Structure 1
Amino acid sequence: MDHYKLILPEHLNHDGFLFGGNMLKWIDEFAYITANQEFPGNRLVTIALDNVAFHHPVAGGEIIRFDVERAGLGNTSVQYKVQVFGTRRHACPETILFETRITFVSVDRDGKKQPITQPAADCSTSTAGIV
């Protein structure tokens, strides 16, 4: 699932590039949105970010694309591969700016691990009719 973000002045660090903490926050948010769409009704919490790797600085005004793809599914957890792409100085093709894997675990109301439940076959994730 693709997500996009416009880099604004408030996202920049003291050197004028994207503050890494913002990137990590957006990865957590966009991966959670993807997981929530794929496994509605589960209470999912972030348990790990693996091998966080920043490849290039990101300047203000750039629009970046987050590609979130499921990488694994266990009994109580689901993992996503996240790659962030941008165009360097508006040139093609896109460049990988950042990549990581993020893992969510399904928990009950007491915070104890529980199996991930699959959506019902007739459960629609369509947004038709939503205003």
Structure 2
Amino acid sequence: MSSAPTEARMMDIVFPDHTNHLGTLFGGQALAWMDKAAFIAASRYARSTVVTARSEQVDFSRPIRQGQLVETIARVVAVGRTSMQVEVELVSEDLLSGERQTCTRGRFVMIALDQGGRPRTVTGARSVA
């Protein structure tokens, strides 16, 4: 029996409409990409509808500049009865040099829902590494 997928990856490019007045990725855009990746990872793990219950400790350690590629990596790292904790990081990549840097990290708590919109038991594989 195969285990449930615990990771999701997305790629985006930072265009001018994603930036603030300094030409760096707007924090709200970064959070939207992170939340979307957390949603995908948790949905694939639980094979159910999920919603974001909480975002925790999002650290913006380095700016991401216009024109850079951004890889958003989300991993399910812990599973409760109805919830999953998903760690998400944004990694910037300079398309010309190939230099990569982790710029932002955060943790999201996602809740699995039944068809009535009520929390349901997460039935994915219990061990996450």
Same fold (TM > 0.5):
yes
- Say whether the 8 Å CA contact 1:88–1:95 is kept in structure 2: no
Count of matched residue positions in the alignment of Structure 1 and Structure 2: 118
Q: Which residue of 2 aligns with 1:105?
A: 111
Structure 2 counterpart of 1:116, from 98, 112, 122: 122
Rg (Cα) greater in structure: 1
Q: Which residue of 1 aligns with 2:36?
A: 29
Q: Which residue of 2 aligns with 1:95?
A: 101
Structure 1 counterpart of 2:61, from 55, 59, 76: 55
Aligned letter for 1:16? G
Alignment partners' CA distance in 2, 1:43 and 1:2: 19
| RMSD of equivalent CA atoms | 2.0
Q: Which residue of 1 aligns with 2:16?
A: 9
- Say whether the 8 Å CA contact 1:43–1:106 is kept in structure 2: yes
Unpaired segments ≥5 residues, structure 2 = 1-7
1:68 aligns with 2:81: no
Residue 35 of structure 1, CA deviation: 1.6
Q: Which residue of 1 aligns with 2:88?
A: 82
Distance 1:44 1:58, change over 3 A: same
- Say whether the 8 Å CA contact 2:46–2:112 is kept in structure 1: no
- Say whether the 8 Å CA contact 2:77–2:87 is kept in structure 1: yes
Residue 79 of structure 1, CA deviation: 0.9
Alignment partners' CA distance in 2, 1:57 and 1:90: 17
Aligned letter for 2:9? D
- Amino-acid identity (%): 25
Q: State the 4+ residue runs in structure 1 displaced beyond 4 angstroms.
A: 88-93
TM-score (norm 1): 0.80
SS of residue matched to 1:114: coil
Alignment partners' CA distance in 2, 1:67 and 1:95: 13
Alignment partners' CA distance in 1, 2:110 and 2:72: 17
